[in-house]
Amino acid sequence: MAVHPIEYRYGTPEMRAVWSEEHRFACIVAAEVALVKALAATGMIPAEAAGIISSRAGTASLARAKEIEEQINHDMMAVVRAVSEVCGEAGGYVHYGATSNDILDTATGLQLKDSLALIGKRLQALLRTLLDKSEETKHLVCAARTHGQIGVPTTYGLRFAIWASEIGRHLDRLREIRPRVEVGQLTGAVGTQAALGPRGMEVQAVMMKELGLVAVDVSNQIISRDRYAEYFFFLANIATTLDKIGIEVRSLQRTEIGEVEEAFGKDQVGSSTMPHKRNPIRSEQVCGLARIVRAAVGPALQNNALWDERDLTNSSPERILFPEATILCDHILVVMDKVIRGLTIRKDRVRENLWVLQGVNMAESVMIELVKRGIGRQEAHEVVRTASMDALAMKRPLDEVLLENPALKGIFTAQEIRDLIDPENYVGTAEAQVDRVIAKLAPLAG
């Protein structure tokens, strides 16, 4: 019986597989195999025994481990016994010199390695989509908004480029955190490697090389959780970017604005009672699930503050935090990519909204030109501000009000005023900025 929505509603099959019980078990077994190989390579156990364990450990079953756990109430020792059973006499060397979290945390490192590789692919896919949209719309001038109010114009291309740039930084962060997060350890009961003797550091190095993980420099009984906290910060940061994009899509799809619209299927239903509805449900889902991903950061930080060489308070929350936050982050990356790829931009409404204030939103353009023609900046600001307030109050075009202003007599012709309040003439370096972003980030997108 499915209980959590990631079992039946959210999440991709690929990321669910990474955090499945079966894959977790396989990672634990892989860590045990790497350990015996390292022990044999350093002469601490017979090579023949290591060979037998390496060849047979994969036949151990999760079901058998669970049976044993029911009897002994220790999950890690249950796996050790399940693996030992299938290895005959050689099984006596399984888990030699290790403590539980040497294997469990190393298995987590393997899962994190798989997860980050998949998240990297999702980020690259979304980056490609955003760069494509930025290129497609770099000439599409639209109303920009600050404080929810229309300001001077921007372009859709610049909006997409800003989001692309943020995703590009997440890819940078991904590369930076991997050596700190994809880690394993073999340091023994309290971190001294006493059970391994003077070759402990060498055994750990060989084991982690076998697994493709970074070996910790030092630890106590567990890997310090600041590493995992950084991982959850990373997921939360990605989720917040997706939340930011989702909020903008939802805002621009408001009836009063109506500039964009999520893809809507031919037979899709928007409301159980209002047949006309076309709701931005995918963006809303992204924004909602981003809250859950961010919520992992608090407990992840607390998991680093444990008693002495360790206690067990981190274990239970991590069993929930890792799969939940990772699967949901992966999910909303995929959803947002679909949203952007399927986004409809209604150019007619874009144009209407550009002119809804009848040129008043172009007041800065007029002010700047006045300064260029010799009027002081503060005086120019006041002249245009007063004219703008009058235009708004009378619901008249700004150019008409400006042309009637005695202070501006002889400074502008009617055509010059019209050119100054044309949004197409006031987007600065927006196009060049888009081109720069595309040139810089295209190689990252693959």
**Greatest Cα-to-Cα distance within the chain, rounded to the nearest angstrom:** 103
**What is the 8-class DSSP label of residue 216?**
P
Q: Which residues contact 421 (CB under 8 A, 6 or more apart)?
A: 359, 362, 365, 366, 398, 399
Which contiguous run of DSSP H or E holds residue 150? strand 149-155
Coil, helix or strand at residue 20: coil
Backbone angles phi, psi at 62, to 5 degrees: -60, -40
The length of the chain, given as a count of residues: 446
Coil, helix or strand at residue 179: helix
Distance, in Å, from the CA atom of 152 to the CA atom of 143, rounded to the nearest integer, reads 7
Distance, in Å, from the CA atom of 432 to the CA atom of 127, rounded to the nearest integer, reads 19
Coil, helix or strand at residue 331: helix
* Catalytic residue list: 147, 271
Q: In sequence order, what DSSP letters do the residues of 44-107 get, joined into one string?
A: SS-HHHHHHHHHHGGG--HHHHHHHHHHH--HHHHHHHHHHHTTGGGGGGTTTT--HHHHHHHH
Q: Which residues contact 199 (CB under 8 A, 6 or more apart)?
A: 42, 44
Tokens of 245: 């994009």
